[in-house]
Chains A and B, each alone.
Chain A
Amino acid sequence: MTREELLQKVKAQLNDKILNFCELSPKRVYITVPPEDAFEACRFLFEECGGRLVTASGVDTPDGIEILYHFGMDGQGMVLTVKTKIPTREDPKIRSIATFLPGALWIEREIHEMLGVEFEGHPDPRRLLLPDDWPEGEYPLRRDFKGVEG
């Protein structure tokens, strides 16, 4: 599959779900989808397009938490990023993709403890990196995080 064929396939399948399609360069493509469609977009890229989940980045923004699922399309020499914004900073939730993709198990745990996003259906939502006595409700990668006693 060439790069153009792949992009056509992605556009055809996710047609009504794509809010914004942005080709920053031949090697970097960003697709914005609503949070409820991020699961389906990731499933399609992994299972039907040969995408390899590189990682996911969580970003705290003033009007919500953004999650970027970066897929390495190794046959096409491009990184395709599925971008979605959960429009709230109070108790943000999104469907877990780790249910079909074990490669996402750790990164969803990390985004959960660092940014306070709940991944619904995650099989093992324990902390990954923070210590056991870290206070509940303190998310170090939130922009309003002020530090904790200790």
Chain B
Amino acid sequence: MKRTMIPLGPYHPLLEEAEFFQLYVEGETVVDMDLRIGYQHRAIEKLSENLHFDQVTFLVERICGICSTSHPIAYVQAVEDIVGVEPPERAKYIRSIVGELERIHSHLLWFGLAGHFIGYNTVFMWAWKYREPVLDIFERVTGNRNHYAVMKPGGVRRDIPPEDVPDILRMLEELEPKIKMFVDVAMDDPVLHARLKGVGVLTKEDAIKYCAVGPTARPSGVAIDVRRDHPYAAYDKVDWDVVVMEDGDVFAKAAVRLLEILESIKIIRQCLENMPEGPIDAGIEEVPPGEGIGQHEAPRGEVFHYVRSDGGNSPVRHKVRAPSYMNIPTFKATCIGESIADAALITASVDPCYCCTERMVVAKDGKGRTMGWNELLRLSREKTERIKKEIGVEEPKWDLPEVSFRSRR
């Protein structure tokens, strides 16, 4: 049968971020695929080498807007690993609380999008509606709906005062039955079963070979979770379960995420109850020469930071590994053999995050260069043309008009 290449991207029909999948199909079946990334590359690792250890916390917070506290948690632990200090007990509990609140809002965001992707827009609107109070709590507790700026090497920057606790508990109280309703609905809904079961299966062998992490690995029977396996923050002081499933399909990935929200609620409640009084910052004065590693189980899986110091003010090397970096390549294992209609859903099922995956613009001599709308448009068209030529795709020439763009400001 004739093999056809279908480009999905660089402007993806479903996801907000730019990435480029080349799907090779025979009839309706995907027989091969190539992933091209690099559209979001911002040179974070290079920038980090020019910032003070404390400033890097805020830089890595901006790697991702969804799991914005996950990178700082991993980074500050890497610095603490070099210095050899433990954060104070109360700071550990606050880290866990903020980390789990983030997981709740991130999983709800994904669940809503997943509903939207399969044309189930009721799920989309409800999930996002229930996500909103979580963001309100973030604003109340940290001052921001995203980019909370709570972490710092040696502890946390903001305490959770006692008067905020009842509000957090009340939010959880109201959220829990809604999540349970979603679990019941998802587990029993014949439409969701028909649409998601057996689709895009990631086998346990493939999950291990590709070193998949988080809610991409756990639905395939790989019982790994950094929070349990490499305990940090307050995760070893509270009672909770790692959610594992066996089927590895899109349905299992959705179920794992929903059930994890309930575990997160459990963790936050116990943390709020057991949180000891005391200082929230160990007060790191300087970072000696050495190397350190920090890990955190972000909503999408393990975030890993490696930091090397030569005793100066900035890291000499800072390696960032986001979970999607390991999860996106599993598409090779899950999309091939599936129908083209399912490919978009399967690629969405790992909750891919490209900003995280690519992290690195080089500003020469400290000066950035600003490009206008038409210039960006021209660059984008040129690149598309070049890629088409490379892969041998011929199509009629369009006489494209110059698009005018009016700024709202």
Which residues of A are interface residues toward B (Cβ below 8 A)? 24-25, 27-28, 30, 52-55, 57, 59-60, 68, 70, 72, 74-75, 77-79, 81, 101-103, 105-107, 114, 127-132, 140-141, 147-150
Contact = CB atoms under 8 A, between A and B. Distances in A.
Contact of A147 (B226, B291, B360, B365): B365
B325 A148 contact: no
A74 B37 CA distance: 29
Contacts of B293: 28, 70, 79, 81
B210 interface: yes
Q: What 5 pairs across the A-B complex have the smallest Cβ distances?
A: A103-B211, A55-B321, A57-B319, A147-B364, A74-B229
Given A102-B332, A132-B383, 14 more contacts: A24-B81, A25-B84, A27-B230, A54-B304, A55-B306, A59-B317, A72-B295, A78-B230, A101-B211, A128-B37, A129-B41, A130-B38, A140-B46, A149-B364
Nearest to A104: B211
Contacts of B230: 27, 72, 74, 77-79
A55 B163 CA distance: 42
30 contacts: A25-B81, A52-B208, A54-B295, A54-B304, A54-B321, A55-B306, A55-B319, A57-B319, A59-B308, A59-B316, A70-B304, A74-B230, A75-B229, A79-B295, A81-B293, A101-B211, A102-B329, A103-B211, A107-B321, A128-B38, A129-B38, A130-B38, A131-B38, A132-B383, A140-B46, A141-B46, A148-B362, A148-B364, A149-B364, A150-B364
Contacts of B329: 102-103, 105-106
Contacts of B224: 52, 72, 74
Contacts of B38: 127-131
B209 interface: yes
A106 B45 contact: no
Contacts of A105: 329
Contacts of A75: 229
Which label, helix, strand, loop or mixed, suits the secondary structure of the A interface?
mixed
Nearest to B333: A102
Contacts of B211: 52-54, 101, 103
Nearest to A83: B291
A106 B358 CA distance: 11
A24 B81 CA distance: 9
Contacts of B46: 140-141
Contacts of B304: 54-55, 70
A77 B230 CA distance: 5
Given A103-B210, A129-B360, A77 B229 contact: yes
